[in-house]
């Protein structure tokens, strides 16, 4: 195993997801197939998510947009955490979610906003 890739994977995962209570899908993957979980993590987190073509903040805002439209609340929660962890503001995340009404409709936006509020509450950052 490439030690540099392993370290980059761990560092990127820590930066993005350290505030996610209960972890991300990786813990479930490991229970099913530990070797495959490691390979998937090395690719997604170590190679794809650590690329510097766009900023981590941009990457996470794009993930929030995609997961909103795809209606993937569990993954959306993890990536709202990640977006906040890499410097996206609450206003930016809200705006990205609102923008998705054009592509996914109001129901997915309303549900994504609920996920967003839940993340803020979990982090002790909800003041509404």
User: Could you give all domains of the chain from N- to C-terminal order, each with its CATH number?
Assistant: 1-51 (no CATH), 54-128 (1.20.1290.10)
CA distance 64 to 50: 17
Quick one: which of 110, 109, 114, 123 has its CA closest to 81? Answer: 123
pLDDT tens digits, one per residue of 88-116: 999 999 999 999 999 999 999 999 999 99
pLDDT tens digits, one per residue of 40-85: 888 888 888 888 899 999 999 999 999 999 999 999 999 999 999 9
More confident residue, 49 or 126: 126
Distance of CA 90 to the CA centre of its chain: 14
């Amino acid at each position: 195993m490439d030690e540099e890739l392993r370290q980059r994977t761990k560092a990127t995962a820590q930066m993005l997801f350290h505030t996610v209570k209960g972890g991300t899908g990786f813990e479930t993957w490991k229970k099913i197939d530990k070797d495959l979980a490691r390979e998937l993590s090395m690719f997604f987190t170590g190679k794809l998510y650590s690329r510097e073509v766009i900023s981590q903040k941009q990457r996470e805002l794009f993930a929030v947009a995609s997961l909103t439209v795809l209606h993937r609340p569990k993954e959306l929660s993890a990536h709202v955490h990640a977006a906040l962890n890499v410097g996206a503001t609450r206003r930016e995340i809200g705006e990205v979610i609102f923008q998705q009404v054009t592509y996914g409709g109001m129901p997915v936006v309303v549900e994504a906003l609920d996920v967003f509020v839940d993340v803020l509450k979990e982090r002790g950052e909800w003041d509404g």
